[in-house]
Amino acid sequence: MMKVAIIGAGSIVFCKTLLLDIVQTPGLEQTEFALMAPSRRHTPQVEAFARRLFAANGLPAQVHVTTSQQDALRGADFVIATFQIGGLAAYEADYDIPMRYGVDQCIGDSLGPGGVFRAQRVIPVAVRLAEEMTTLCPGATLLNYVNPMAPVCWALGSTGVPFVGLCHGVQTTMDLIAGYVGVPKAEIDFVCAGINHMAWFLNLEHRGEDLYPLLRQRFEQPEYYANDKVRGEVMRHFGYFMTESSGHLSEYLPYFRKNQRALDAYCDEPEFGGESGAALKWGQRVAARYEGRDMLADEPVTLPGRSIEYGS
């Protein structure tokens, strides 16, 4: 039986997705899951859902929750990091403090002051996790989902622990591109390269035909351009489509958020289209909606097929 430790298992919805993906992967039906979070505020919900899921589908998997990182790591074959240090209160500071000095962020978790603040919180915890792995589960691989991905992975590289940084930006953008060009995603051959949150689709083909002329043509039409202005402008000037939403991408380049005129021109779409503080506001809405409620109480226990995540 393989053991998977999920560190930061209080991320309820994402943890549920990983559980579903792993037990639907051939050969992993008997996985032992150790779900760790520093408090038991949310992990019992995930544990209860997992037990219902395993029972309903006759799966021999096992699950337990713990507040001890050491207990979760002991004997693990894989460790999945999904934690956020400081929660919404820290995220609010990441947004509010730069905003006082005129730095407007949509997401604020990878570059700029928000990304720097988050990196300072996360890197010591990630390195300590890797160091504990060397004694409690030597040889285990760390799958890191924690942002800011690039600096966290740079730090993990100094520990000697095998690790992979994972994100779903490539997969979700491929869904978007497939819709833009009207071609099934499974039929598109692509090459995407870069660093996390700044990757470029260097090649897009359907049955040997270059899809870029059609994609560029689409973005000359107002209804397409309005949906993704920043990515449209970047493709127009640099030649390739990017992995991140317009709101996210707007923070990484010096052209789109430097003054109100730029914000009005390129970041006027709601939420992740460029809205100021979009990610923080979304997190606050979700927290308020489910405060005191079991988010997974009514979740179906059927096996829906694996998601787009690479974690399984």
The residue among 283, 259, 249, 247 whose CA lies nearest residue 103 is: 259
Residues known to be catalytic: 168, 252
Say what the pLDDT of residue 293 is: 85
- Decide the pairing of beta strands 3-7 and 78-81: parallel
**Taking the chain, what is the end-to-end CA distance rounded to the nearest angstrom?**
15
Please tell me the distance from the alpha carbon of residue 271 to that of residue 278, in angstroms, as a whole number.
5
Structure tokens at 231: 């990515």
Give the tokens for residue 1. Answer: 């039986």
Take residue 108 and report the two structure tokens written for it. 């604020």
Q: What does the alpha-carbon distance between residue 235 and residue 200 come to, in Å, rounded to a whole number?
A: 10
3-state SS, residue 151: helix
- What is the structure's pLDDT at 159? 97
Digit-coded pLDDT (tens) for 84-120: 999 999 999 999 999 999 999 999 998 899 999 999 9
The fourth-level CATH superfamily of domain 3-103+110-165 is: NAD(P)-binding Rossmann-like Domain (3.40.50.720)
- Could you read off the pLDDT of 237-278 as tens digits, one per residue? 999 999 999 999 999 999 999 999 999 999 999 999 999 999
Q: Where in the chain is the domain with CATH 3.40.50.720?
A: 3-103+110-165
- H/E run at residue 190: strand 188-195
Gap between the Cα atoms of 192 and 234, Å rounded: 16
Mean pLDDT of 55-72: 98
pLDDT in tens, 125-149: 999 999 999 999 999 999 999 999 9
Tens-digit pLDDT profile for residues 190-239 = 999 999 999 999 999 999 999 999 999 999 999 999 999 999 999 999 99
Collapsed DSSP state (helix, strand, coil) of residue 205: strand
Q: pTM higher than 0.85 for the full model?
A: yes
**Chain-centre distance for alpha carbon 160:** 24
Region of poorest pLDDT, from 15-29, 51-65, 172-186, 285-299: 285-299
DSSP symbol at 195: E
Determine the Cα–Cα distance for residues 175 and 170; give it in Å rounded to an integer: 9
In 8-158, the DSSP E strands lie at 32-36, 62-66, 78-81, 141-144
